Amino acid sequence: MDLNLNNNIVFVGDVFLSNALKDKSMALNRVKECVGQCMVFVCNFEGVLFSANHRDNRNSILFMEENYLDLLKLGEINILSLANNHISDMGEIGLLKTIKLLKKKRVPHIRSWAKFK
């Protein structure tokens, strides 16, 4: 599929880079192929950035290593949506650590939630 999306805004759904993937950058090659050199890339960042063995009493825990963030730079401006059902999988510490890292790396992000429980 050859889409010319230059100077456009591209929205994609859930993005999760599993630790089981041996070559994380290869997993995004198809996305890069379709997106091209878009102006703005927006994705739902399905999980949190966390490097620990912390486990909650939840069955489904999605987290990504902190260095995976650099793999998602697919546009000139990259925006991550944190408004998803896995944002609290690593508890409040995972959420706050993710936000802190995004701010440190100057990655714009969208978040939406009521008071964290």
Residue 106, in any domain of the structure: yes
Residue 43, in any domain of the structure: yes
The pTM score is 0.72
Q: CA angle, 111 as apex, 10 and 73 as ends, to 5°?
A: 40
Report the half-sphere exposure of 1 (CA within 13 A, side-chain side).
Answer: 10
Residue 13, in any domain of the structure: yes
Residue 1, in any domain of the structure: no
Range of the structural domain that residue 19 is part of: 9-110
How many whole angstroms separate alpha carbon 71 and alpha carbon 69? 5
Beta strands at 40-45 and 77-81: parallel, antiparallel or unpaired: parallel
Helices (H) and strands (E) in the chain, counts: 3, 6
pLDDT tens digits, 12-71: 888 887 777 677 667 677 777 777 777 788 888 888 887 655 555 556 678 787 777 777
pLDDT tens digits, 46-59: 888 876 555 555 56
Residue 96, in any domain of the structure: yes
Residue 115, in any domain of the structure: no
- Name the H helices within the chain: 24-27, 29-35, 91-104
Give me the number of domains the chain comprises.
1
Residue 117, in any domain of the structure: no
Q: CA angle, 87 as apex, 48 and 71 as ends, to 5°?
A: 35
Residue 73, in any domain of the structure: yes
